[in-house]
Amino acid sequence: MPRDVRASFADWHMRTPFGPGRAEVVRALREGRGAPARGLPAFPNHDRGDLTAAMDAADFTPSPAGLRAALGAVARPARAALCVPDAWLVVGTSGIFFLGEYMESGHDWLGSCGDIADDLARDLGLESAPLTLSTACSSSANALLLAAQAIGREECPAALVVGFEALSPIALNGFRSLMLLDPRGCRPFDRNRAGLHLGEGLAALSLQASPPGVRGARAVVLGGAHVCAAMGPAGQAPDADAMHAVMAEALRVAQREPRDIVAIKAHGLGSTDSDEAEARALHRLYGTPPPVTSLKGSFGHTLGASGALETAAFLSCLEAGFVPPAAGFEEADPGLSLAPLSKPLAAPPGPYQLNFFGFGASYVSLVVAWQP
């Protein structure tokens, strides 16, 4: 990302299990609450009682039409913040939802994700061809990174980044087969952590060019990086070296040192191996890390939506003046030497590091400067 142009967040909107707006999310995250657990009556042959962070039916209907309506509801106000007709649309999703919805009707899986982006671009009057990224859990984080880099290279003046994920029986069955579901929900970095729980949600964030000296930008992407460490079967396991590398590269691109970072929004998956690897990477890079939090105890793991959704939620908390605690965390793990926040922390201006790590070792880290 060039030094003379940055990408600033003009606006952001989301729909989550907490409700359709920012206020509900900010209130819940300040209190360290997890999202409401709801049943999954639409899933055939699913009676195992897995904990999920599902959206209310009034905010989202799990169907292609329902998804299009919900995406429009979050994307339209974010689009309105961009006063240019040639803004890019960059969509990030794992696409798992479409495996069941579309393959049964003979449609192409990834092509269906692209169809959603095409429909959304037409609905919003965006003239540029949309892009769709599907890199598992880092999908919309990579979408944010790609958009910020394109703006920094002056390839486009602005971009709308959209991330979405809907719960699906395929995802639930897959994570259960990997023995990664915790019946108590995600407990990031907790001594008794046992995995994750799945969630769903949608978010849209608008970014625009922010040359130096321009006042008024509250949140600016200073830099970011992506590392893919999937090299054969071993590359599927959490990789502390790759986590360290992507965080260090993000800081280098942002022209910041570890001592500059105010706080870290960790990936904080809640699994034994992933949290251990991330803790090792944080200690290697920072020595003694600054305050750390994770949002997966609140939202569940929203897979491809997590980059956009967790960024929007984190920015909303900074806007409200605090860094949120890590919901689900109760007892420190002495083997990690890392305890995330257990209560809100006043959020001063400065750079924050946000981590998003995907299955298959697709890792993204962003450095975002906040100026209230």
Domain boundaries, the chain: 1-372
Q: How confident is the model at residue 41 (pLDDT cuts 50, 70, 90)?
A: very low
Picking from 350, 332, 317, 222, the residue whose alpha carbon sits closest to that of residue 279 is 332
Window from 108-122, 155-169, 180-194, 270-284 with minimum mean pLDDT: 108-122
| DSSP helix, strand, coil percent of the chain (3-state; round to 5) | 35, 20, 40
Give the model's pLDDT for residue 372. Answer: 82
Give the number of other CB atoms < 10 A from CB of residue 110: 13
Residue 266 has pLDDT above 50, yes or no: yes
Give the model's pLDDT for residue 178. Answer: 86
Residue 213 has pLDDT above 70, yes or no: no
On whether the CB atoms of residues 74 and 99 are closer than 8 A, the answer is no
Q: Dig out the tokens for 297 from the structure.
A: 């105890």
Identify the residue with better confidence: 136 or 247: 247
Identify the residue with better confidence: 349 or 61: 349
Picking from 93, 123, 127, 125, the residue whose alpha carbon sits closest to that of residue 111 is 93
Q: Give mean pLDDT, residues 139-144.
A: 98
Classify 1-372 by CATH class: alpha beta
Q: Give mean pLDDT, residues 251-274.
A: 97
Please state the pTM of the whole predicted model.
0.94
Q: How confident is the model at residue 2 (pLDDT cuts 50, 70, 90)?
A: very low
